[in-house]
Chain A
Amino acid sequence: MGKKGKKLHLSGPAIILIVLVVVSSLFINSFIRIGNINNILRQASMLSLVAMGQCIVILLAGIDLSQGSVMGLTGVSTALILSKGVPLVPGIILGLAIAMFCGLINGYLISYVKIPQFVATFGMFGMALGVALVISDSRVIWGFPETVRVIHDGEILGISAPFVIVGIIYLIMFWLLKFTRFGTSIYAIGGNATAAELSGMPVKRNVMLSYGISGLLAGAAGIMLMARMNSARAIMGTGYEFEAIAAVILGGTNRLGGKGGAVETITGVLILAVVRNALNLIGVSVYLQMVAVGFVLIVVYIINQNKGSNPLRKWFPVKNKGLVSGTTGNGNGR
């Protein structure tokens, strides 16, 4: 609940983002131009959506490895639906429904059948990708009505459509996580699932719904990517889930810290986007960029950890933790 008070604490990741932006602006000429900034933000819009879904799942101490495949499946399905003449809005809704369905299956397997998250979502990763490849015959789908491109290229009141869409979704997610019982239960389940269950929370149902949301958002990202590229392929989303996980961690979401949510996730997404963009402008190869991202990920994770042995702690001080809670059994042992 840190951000809601009167004092605004800048989190570690926020500081890192600011530093990155400032450094890039100073040292790279083309960075600070409006066109470039626009580019960065537009490119980040897909990842923003996927990362938000992943964030909720990570808060539950889970993981969703299927988001990329769901993206592809949704993109391909929606493209096919639209090219069959279905109007835009119903077409999109159908696509999103497919995405949410995949997510709910994940959630059901994890919550009720008690399959570990890794196994369930990994299975879905394969299944969704497989189905996408089958229905698209491994081809690129194009030729659907151009109207869908408005999602990516359009403007609402002068602001790029993707920003508006991402903005609205993030506001909803912020409200959901911080102002509803559902959201509080997410933090509770991630913090101590047993205690949450004993407090009468519908743990199974909420976990299932969370995976549904993760799938839904992955699907939305898939449709947005489809609009951006004006085409769809089964593999178009592959790899997004890992970027999403990186973004969530970079942003400082930590279920053990009860920290995390919309604000943290967008911060992480932007850090990744800025780093990528800056390296691109400098001319660093894509492969070296991967090294950079991995490096940043580890460094930021260490900064975010509230451990005493953290050497960077003096720049990012955290309140001293008191004694560990009495959840470790009978006080003095046997």
Chain B
Amino acid sequence: MEKNVILELENITKIYPGVVALDSVNFQLREGEVHVLSGENGAGKSTLIKILSGAEQPDYGSIIYQGKKRSFKYAYEAQRAGIATIYQEFNLIPELSIAQNIYLGREPKKLLGTFIDWKKVEKQAQALFDMLGVKIDVKTKVVNLPVSKQQMVEIAKALSLDSKVIIFDEPTSTLTDDDIVKLFEIIKRLREKKIGIIYISHRLEELFEIGDRVTVLRDGKKTGHHNIKDIDMSKIITEMVGRKIDKQFARDLQKPGKEVLKVEGFTSKGVFSNINFSVREREIVGFSGLVGSGRTEVMRAVFGIDKFDSGSLHFYGNKVEKSDPLKSVKLKLAFIPEDRKSEGTCLNLNIRDNIILASMASIFKSGIINLHEEKKLVTQAIKDLDIKTPSMQQKVKFLSGGNQQKVVLAKWLLTKSKIFIFDEPTRGIDVGAKAEFHKLINLLVKEGAGVIMISSEMPEVIGMSDRIFVMKEGTIVQEFSREEASQEKILKAAIG
């Protein structure tokens, strides 16, 4: 083993049903280095982190920490061993103070262990922040802190656990520029203390500012491993997305018809601004961009789930003053949300109820459900979409992810909508189901629908869309036609 290597991952493989999240990944971390882990959404970074932090177990491969083979079955095992992870969602108790949070469960005691020594807790916490070079009152309740300071509490906690490895998972996504400067100063201090740092971020500029080495993942495999000084941005982008698109996408290009949806100057303060686009019959408009770029928020506002502050919305050429889901459905819009479990289906209901849900008003106008008719429609839907289930009475929560998504789609297909908004429709679904889905969307478009597809999967976006909009931090930064688009161009625009 090389000198100074504190953590090593050998041939780590992790397989989830239908998808290989990590495929024989090798990774190495030295003391006192900032090793950046880069890759698109779904490349496997989060999975790797979960394995390192003890939240998941690898199926194959080994973790070698401080020279010894280790396996971490629980999160606190990794913590106690000295591997700390700073997630985007903090594990802090809001109404307890900074000091209390840091020493939660490990408070020093006095008087033969009968009383917690709160003075000591505060002193030690203060010392940690002095070490980090941060001025803060450790008696402040965490809920009263801005996000950037809360992150520092997590870092202080990691230090207090005598961590030798600290993993940062997208630490800058919620920080201002000033906060980021302070964070980097802290990271430099941690580096001086010979702590090994794994840093995950989409923002490639940060890579060059703070990183010593970088490892790039793509579709679960390691595609590159370099010293930062030996590499430049375009090479990294190529390693992140430079895959061969050999899959054929079932896309029969159509001649677009009338405009069905138009959005002008669409703005929601602090969320997205000045969004302009239109969708016509028989076309698929793709929306690409990083997680957090605001795509979902725009579509939610279009459909009427969220409000918007300014700009205009036009359905079929008519201006819409206020949009709400009820009106949207009546106007033949369909929204297939990202989170099918909590927003797309009623897990505890059966397939039959789920599928009929959105079209009850339009099909059964009197308010009374004709069971015979319902059964016929649902049976046809199950057949058309090839939903694999023993019966329509099966509760949706027992279906696989792909089949659940088909139920959501079936629900909306039954409404015979004209405008479909898909938010990450094939995420977490196996290859076979994905292909079926694309065939169905293609069919929809052939029959005259206008489709918006939000997707973080490059091949899918490029393969299916007629036009692609790239969003970044709430605005549309670029538009590509199908012919112009390439993975590198899109990623470059998304990262900017």
Contact = CB atoms under 8 A, between A and B. Distances in A.
Interface stretch (A10-18, A124-132, A191-199, A212-220): A191-199
Given A256-B95, A324-B143, A185 B292 contact: no
A9 interface: no
A194 B296 CA distance: 27
A105 B473 CA distance: 52
Interface in A165-195: 175, 178-181, 184-185, 187-188, 191-192, 194-195
B94 A258 contact: yes
B146 interface: yes
Contact of A325 (B116, B142, B296): B142
Contacts of A311: none
A199 B93 CA distance: 10
A194 B91 contact: yes
B115 A322 contact: no
A325 B147 contact: yes
Contacts of A325: 90, 92, 94, 142-143, 145, 147, 150
A1 B116 CA distance: 13
Interface stretch (A151-159, A277-285, A295-303, A326-334): A326-334
B360 to A, nearest CB: 29
Contacts of B146: 322-323
B357 interface: no
Q: Which of A187, A199, A324 has the most CB of B within 10 A?
A: A199
A334 B296 contact: yes
Which of A259, A322, A325 has the most chain B CB atoms inside 10 A of its CB? A325
A257 interface: yes
Contacts of A187: 93, 95-96
A110 B88 CA distance: 31
Contacts of B150: 325-326
B348 interface: no
A33 interface: no
Q: Which of B88, B141, B146, B174 has the most CB of A within 10 A?
A: B141
B23 to A, nearest CB: 26
Interface in B324-362: 338
A314 interface: no
A42 to B, nearest CB: 31
Contacts of A7: none
Interface in A246-302: 256-259
Contact of A327 (B89, B100, B173): B89
A3 interface: no
Given A195-B93, A331-B147, A1 B118 contact: yes
B295 interface: yes
Nearest to B154: A326
Contacts of B76: 198-200
B116 A334 contact: no
B92 A327 contact: yes
Interface string B104-148: 110100000011101000000000000000000001011111110
Contacts of A179: 114-116, 118
Given A326-B88, A333-B271, A192 B292 contact: no
A326 B147 contact: yes
Interface in B261-313: 271, 291-297
Interface residues of A, number: 39
Interface string B473-490: 110000000000000000
B473 A332 contact: yes
Contacts of B94: 191-192, 258, 325, 327
B423 interface: yes
Nearest to B147: A326
Chain A binding surface SS class: loop
Nearest to A332: B292
Nearest to A329: B89
A319 B139 CA distance: 13
A164 interface: no
Interface residue tally on B, bucketed by range: 35 or more
B215 interface: no
Given A184-B107, A201-B105, A330-B292, A259 B95 contact: yes
A257 B95 contact: yes
A228 to B, nearest CB: 33
B104 A188 contact: yes
B75 interface: yes
B338 to A, nearest CB: 6
Contacts of B338: 334
Contact of B100 (A184, A256, A322, A326): A184
A201 B150 CA distance: 21
B337 to A, nearest CB: 10
Contacts of A199: 76, 91, 104-105
A68 B19 CA distance: 55
A211 B93 CA distance: 22
B107 A334 contact: no
Which of B105, B142, B474 lies at the interface centre, i.e. has the most chain A CB atoms within 10 A of its CB?
B105
B97 interface: yes
Contacts of A200: 76, 79, 105
B82 to A, nearest CB: 14
A264 to B, nearest CB: 14
Contacts of B294: 332-334
Given A191-B96, A323-B147, A331 B292 contact: yes
B115 A321 contact: no
B151 interface: yes
Of the candidates B96, B145, B293, the one having the most CB atoms from chain A within 10 angstroms of its own CB is B96
B296 A332 contact: no
B374 to A, nearest CB: 34
Contacts of A194: 91
Nearest to B88: A330
19 contacts: A179-B114, A180-B114, A180-B115, A181-B105, A184-B100, A187-B93, A187-B96, A188-B96, A191-B94, A192-B94, A198-B91, A258-B95, A319-B144, A323-B146, A326-B174, A332-B271, A332-B293, A332-B294, A334-B295
Interface of A: 1, 4, 175, 178-181, 184-185, 187-188, 191-192, 194-196, 198-201, 256-259, 319-327, 329-334
Q: Top 10 closest A-B pairs, CB basis?
A: A258-B95, A331-B174, A334-B296, A195-B91, A332-B292, A191-B93, A200-B76, A322-B144, A179-B115, A326-B147
Interface of B: 75-76, 79, 88-97, 100, 104-105, 107, 114-116, 118, 139, 141-147, 150-151, 170, 173-174, 271, 291-297, 338, 423, 454, 473-474
Given A321-B144, A325-B94, A333-B271, 4 more contacts: A187-B95, A199-B76, A322-B144, A334-B295
